[in-house]
C-alpha cells in the first residue's frame, strides 16, 4: 500500500505530539484572569493560541491519507491555510508589540509567550511544506494564492506600522537649532504620499490614480493599483468632519465601483486615524470585510487603534 507524504506526516506528527501538552498548559495559564490582567488586544492574542491548539487537536492530530485527509493535495492545502492563519496571527502580535513600544512599555508576558509559540508552529509548518515530496503536489493555483496572501500580509504590516513611521518622520535632527523639514500627515494626499513610499519597498508595478470606468457617470480613480497582484488600495484619513459613517459610505461606494475593474480582485481599505476620532473602528472593519463577494475580497485596516 502506498504511503503518501511520509516525511510530512512523520515530522509534523512528532512535532505536534511533543508540543501539545505544553501548549495546552499555556492556553490554560496565559489567560488574563490568571493574574496577567487585560491588555491591548488580549482577546485576539488569546484567540491565536486557541487556534493553534484546536487545529493541532482537531485537524492535524491524525495526518494519514486517505483515512483523515482524502488526498495529498487536501493535506497540503489545509497546511497552507493553517500557515496563512499563523502568519496573520504574527502580524497581530507585532501590532501589540508596536503598541507597547509607542507607550515605552514591555509587552505583557502572554504576548511574548504566544508569539513565541506562534513562531514555533509557523516554522514547523513552513519546514513541512518545504520538503521535496510536497513540491509535486503544489499546483500553479496554490502558488498564486500563496503569493497573493504574502502580498496582503505585507500590506497589512505596512498599514499597521504606518503611524509609527509617520511619527518617526517628524522626529528629525536639529539644524542650527531648528528641526529639519519633513513630511507631516495633514490630509489624504499626505497619507497617499507616505503610503506610496512604503509600498515601493515590496512592490514594483504600482499604478497611481488608476481610472475606474463608470457606466452611469464620469469615471473615478482608485488611489493605488498593484497590477501584478490585482490588489487595489484606498486610503482615508479621519477628521472632525470625516469619521465613521462618512468614511464607511465612501468606501462602500468604492467597493461597488471597483468590482467592475478587470485588474482588481482584492481591495485594501486603509483608514488612518491618528487622533482616535473613530467611535467604532472594529465595527467599521467588520462591516467592510463582510462586503467581500465573489468579485472582490475586502481587507480593512484602521491604524492606530486606540
pLDDT tens-digit readout, 65-111: 999 999 898 899 899 989 999 999 999 999 998 988 888 888 888 99
* Cα–Cα distance for residue pair 288/253, rounded to 1 Å: 11
State the pLDDT at residue 215: 41
Is the pTM higher than 0.85?
A: no
C-alpha cell at 279: 467611535
C-alpha cell at 43: 482577546
Q: Where in the chain is the domain with CATH 3.40.1350?
A: 185-303
Number of H helices, E strands in the chain: 10, 7
Domain 185-303 has CATH 3.40.1350: yes
* Cα–Cα distance for residue pair 209/185, rounded to 1 Å: 19
* Cα–Cα distance for residue pair 3/113, rounded to 1 Å: 36
HEC assignment per residue over 190-217: HHHHHHHHHHCCCCCCEEEEEEECCCCC
- pLDDT < 50 positions in the chain: 215-216
State the pLDDT at residue 160: 93
- Sequence-distant (6+) residues with CB within 8 A of 86 are 52, 118, 121, 122, 125
Torsions phi, psi of 279, nearest 5?
Answer: -80, -30
β partners of residue 298: 267
Amino acid at each position: 500500500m502506498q504511503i503518501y507524504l511520509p516525511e510530512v506526516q512523520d515530522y509534523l506528527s512528532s512535532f505536534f505530539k511533543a508540543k501539545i501538552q505544553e501548549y495546552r498548559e499555556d492556553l490554560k495559564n496565559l489567560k488574563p484572569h490568571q493574574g496577567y490582567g487585560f491588555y491591548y488586544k488580549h482577546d485576539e492574542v488569546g484567540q491565536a493560541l486557541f487556534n493553534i491548539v484546536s487545529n493541532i487537536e482537531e485537524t492535524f492530530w491524525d495526518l494519514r491519507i486517505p483515512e483523515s485527509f482524502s488526498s495529498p493535495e487536501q493535506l497540503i492545502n489545509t497546511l497552507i491555510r493553517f500557515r496563512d492563519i499563523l502568519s496573520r496571527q504574527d502580524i497581530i502580535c507585532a501590532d501589540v508589540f508596536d503598541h507597547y513600544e509607542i507607550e515605552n512599555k514591555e509587552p505583557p508576558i502572554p504576548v511574548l509567550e504566544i508569539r513565541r509559540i506562534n513562531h514555533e508552529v509557523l516554522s514547523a509548518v513552513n519546514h513541512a511544506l518545504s520538503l521535496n515530496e510536497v513540491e509535486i503536489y503544489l499546483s500553479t493555483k496554490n502558488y498564486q494564492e500563496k503569493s497573493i496572501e504574502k502580498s496582503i500580509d505585507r500590506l497589512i504590516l505596512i498599514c499597521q506600522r504606518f503611524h509609527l513611521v509617520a511619527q518617526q518622520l517628524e522626529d528629525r535632527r536639529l539644524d542650527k537649532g531648528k528641526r529639519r523639514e519633513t513630511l507631516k500627515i495633514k490630509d489624504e494626499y499626505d497619507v497617499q504620499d507616505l503610503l506610496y513610499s512604503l509600498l515601493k519597498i515590496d512592490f514594483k508595478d504600482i499604478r497611481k490614480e488608476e481610472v475606474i470606468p463608470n457606466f452611469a457617470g464620469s469615471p473615478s480613480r482608485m488611489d493605488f493599483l498593484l497590477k501584478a497582484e490585482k490588489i487595489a488600495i484606498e486610503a482615508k484619513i479621519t477628521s472632525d468632519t470625516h469619521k465613521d459613517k462618512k468614511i464607511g459610505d465612501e468606501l462602500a461606494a468604492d467597493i461597488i465601483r471597483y468590482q467592475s475593474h478587470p485588474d482588481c480582485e482584492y481591495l485594501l481599505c486603509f483608514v488612518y486615524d491618528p487622533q482616535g476620532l473613530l467611535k467604532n473602528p472594529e465595527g467599521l472593519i467588520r462591516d467592510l470585510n463582510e462586503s467581500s463577494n465573489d468579485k472582490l475580497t475586502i481587507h480593512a485596516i484602521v491604524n492606530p487603534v486606540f
